Structure 1
Amino acid sequence: MARLNPCLNYQTARFLISAPTLAHCPDGGGAEVAFAGRSNAGKSSAINTLTRQSGLARISKTPGRTQLINFFSLGDDSDRRLVDLPGYGYAKVPEAVKLEWQRHLSEYLRHRDALRGLVLVMDVRHPLSEFDQTMLGWADEQEMPVHILLTKADKLKRGAAASALQQVRSRLREWEDLVTIQLFSSLKRQGIEELEARLDGWLLGGLEE
């Protein structure tokens, strides 16, 4: 179903900058939405599907290698941005490195004034990992709205995917005023418009407040 309200064109997204820490992030004005997820959950694929650009968010052959916070502006408007946060929890890296990633993610979520919402990417077959619950806890502390993408929905039959969606909703019922959830498939291009509508609400509303 086509959206009737004014909306952003996510196909105009372009790389802006990579930052190793919060201190290196671009000026905090404007509005941005961050994508986070356990490595191998399909986060980069979701961003590429949303923007209709196969190589915008790099998909590493070794999940979890990316340790930078990557910013993408929407067209020439650097006041509206998508942010690709480092994947976590899968890479074979030293524990100290993982803890450092976790610290940077926590600082970003707690102190980034421009952040309007968090898209938390989960494999529909393995939702609500320890990492996912940590991210939800941080978001809850900041009263930050979260939109969960249950990716790789094409890996399940329709009934099984719908059941998985309902199970996650049931487990997160206490956060229903903060969290919304949808199925998503990069392969089948399923759920793009629903995701776009959620991002529009955050990014357009974020600059009008």
Structure 2
Amino acid sequence: MNPDHVMTVKSKCEYMVRISSDGNQTNRISGICCLPSGQVIVTDEINRKVKLLDQHYNVCTHCDVSNNPSGICQITSTEVAVSLNSEVQFISVSNGKLVKGRKFKLPHDASCIAHHQGVLYVTGLNALYQYTLTGSLVKKLYEDNNYRVWKCAVNPAGDRIYVTTSEIFWAHLTLHGKDRLITLSTDGTLIIHFL
């Protein structure tokens, strides 16, 4: 693909994922995952819900979760993993319903989760961790005490992990300015970072 190719948006559509049990709360879609069936699963952080959308993007079912979901990733053609603060909850689609399965606790907060061939990558505060699907910590892949580690993704070949970070200004405990995109190898070696 030509890296200088200009892409043009031809159309845009917006869909409502609010349901009656959301009450007066607004929706904050914190994660999205598309299954091979064409169904889409979204995490609604404020309402503590995982919502299954049909092929027309209507909410067809949902399940409540124990904490605010911040990320989601596909595990199999019918199963996803959802990061819930300091837990990972597995949820399957079965007969058009969302069914909660196993879950495991994390010794840290989690803001994002990614999966590739049986390996889970979980971001938490200032680090990126590698876990097995059963919840065993393999190792801490990356850590930077000056940056908040936010999101992560794995390339299709599984040999690169992309991580977004924001500089932490400790005097006010706020984030500002200097965001970075970091590329790591699967053993945690820093390949490159972009400011």
Q: TM-score over 0.5 for the alignment?
A: no
Higher RCO (CA < 8 A, seq sep 6+): 1
Q: Larger % of helix: which?
A: 1
Structure number with bigger Rg: 2
Q: Larger % of strand: which?
A: 2
| TM-score, normalised via structure 1 length | 0.25
